[in-house]
Structure 1
Amino acid sequence: MSELKNALRSGDVSVIGSRQFKDFDEYLMPRATFDTHHRENRLGLAVETSATSYLDERFERLREALDETARLAAAGELPDVELNDKGLKITPLDDATPAEADVLTQQVYDLII
Structure 2
Amino acid sequence: MKKLKCYQDQCYDYLDLIKTRFNYLRKYTPSLLESLKFKSIKSAEPLLKALETIRELNDSGKRKIPDGSPLDFVPKRWQKHVFDDEGNINRQYYEMVALTELKNHIHSGDVWVEGSRLHKDFEEYLVSKDDWELVKVKGTKLAANISFDKYIQERIETLNAKIQWISKNIDKIESINIEKQKIHVERLQADTPEESRKFSLSLYNMLPRVKLTDLLMEVAKWTGFHELSHKSTT
> TM-score scaled to structure 2, two decimals?
0.28
Asked which structure has the greater RCO (Cα within 8 Å, sep 6+), the reply is 2
> TM-score scaled to structure 1, two decimals?
0.48
